[in-house]
Amino acid sequence: MSTGFKSGFVAIVGRPNVGKSTFLNRVVGQKVAIMSDKAQTTRNKIQGIYTTDDSQIVFLDTPGIHKPQNKLDEYMDKAALSALKEVEAVLFMVSATETRGAGDNYIIDQLKQIEAPVYLIINKIDEIDPNQLLPIMDMYRKAYPWAEVFPISALRGNNVDELLQSLVKTLPEGPQYYPDDQVTDHPERFIVQEIIREQILANTRQEIPHSVAVYVEWMRPNETGKLQIEASIIVERNGQKGIIVGKGGQRLKYISVGARREIEKLLGTKVNLKLWVHVQSGWRDKPNALNNLGYSA
Ligand code: GDP
Ligand code: MG
Ligand code: K
């Protein structure tokens, strides 16, 4: 029986800094990919998951296709390409503020091996004069038989909903792969949770270990350019909260400083970490609570 539910995997490719992470963050409505002006900050394949009542798009932020300089590059390119052969659609993103270069042409060439529809996404249109758009579109139209061409601003949100609607239309009927409230399986978020947990364990000797969970509420760069992370520490009893917080909040401070240093080392960026401690009795026995905390039973 037809459910009418549509779903599929969509890969985003493009040169560094064209706005792939910004786009993903806007689509999932939460900052999950680490953004920066530095190239190559996206080290892992990140999934952003967009779910509506009748559709789900799982976005893959691929590590990137570059003209190979060595064997490793060649291998990476092959891996990226084979990933692209398994998706329902590909978004090739360019920046309206940069002219088409050798890097773009190399990717376009590789895309010719892909059967799935490839969308051309011209990002950062907020930065150009509207008159400049048509010549840019013309320049790219000649290079590849794009399924669709979408000028957008990932930063401001222009034309992003229209793009999502068009993607959903091209997707086949399929299952909902992930729960409604899951926006990513971003490994960095999970690692941040683990680092905070480690610091709690390192700073408390009592009955804490098995009854504490950490949940990263959100992470996003703040006005000062630091990565702002807000996380909840969830314990089962008031007494455990007291142990973690410590006299005058001293222990929580140690935990926070220790975790911040580790996270900064890991992500290579300055971090502002805020921790809250909540008591939620019996969370370990509730399958839903476990899922929300990132543990699968
Ligand atoms: P990625 O390397 O492709 O993932 O690019 P990022 O998402 O990290 O973005 C690189 C830079 O471009 C960041 O400074 C973003 O704020 C900026 N950026 C991304 N999208 C837009 C946009 O639509 N307009 C403008 N003006 N800047 C953008
Ligand atoms: Mg990125
Ligand atoms: K194609």
φ and ψ of 244, to 5 deg: -70, -40
Q: Tell me the pLDDT band of 107, cut-offs 50, 70 and 90.
A: confident
Given the candidates 3.40.50.300, 3.90.550.10, 3.40.50.620, 3.10.310.30, the CATH classification of the domain at 6-170 is 3.40.50.300
How big is the chain, counted in residues? 297
Nearest atom, ligand 1, residue 37 CA: 14
Contact in structure between 91 and 10 (CB atoms under 8 Å): yes
pLDDT at 199 over 50: yes
Name which of 75-79, 172-176, 260-264 the model is least confident about: 75-79
Looking at every residue in the chain, the average pLDDT score rounds to: 81
Query: Which strands form 271-279's sheet, in the order they lie side by side?
Result: 213-221, 227-235, 271-279
Partner residues linked to 219 by β-bridges? 229
For the chain, the distance separating the N- and C-terminal CA atoms, rounded to the nearest angstrom, is 30
Ligand closest to Cα of 221 equals 1
Ligand closest to Cα of 43 equals 2
Sign of the dihedral defined by the CA atoms of residues 138, 115, 28, 40, in that order: negative
Q: Tell me the pLDDT band of 86, cut-offs 50, 70 and 90.
A: confident
- In the DSSP assignment, the letter for residue 249 is G
- pLDDT, one tens digit per residue, over 221-243 is 888 889 999 999 988 888 889 99
Collapsed DSSP state (helix, strand, coil) of residue 72: helix
pLDDT at 290 over 60: no
The ranges of the chain annotated as CATH 3.30.300.20 are 187-292
Residue 281 one-letter amino acid: S
CATH dotted code for 187-292: 3.30.300.20
φ and ψ of 162, to 5 deg: -60, -40
Nearest atom, ligand 1, residue 14 CA: 3
The ranges of the chain annotated as CATH 3.40.50.300 are 6-170
pLDDT of residue 94: 95
Q: How far is the CA of 167 from the centre of ligand 3 (A)?
A: 14
Name the residue of 23, 35, 121, 129 whose CB sits within 8 Å of the most ligand 1 atoms, as the mutation to test its pocket: 35
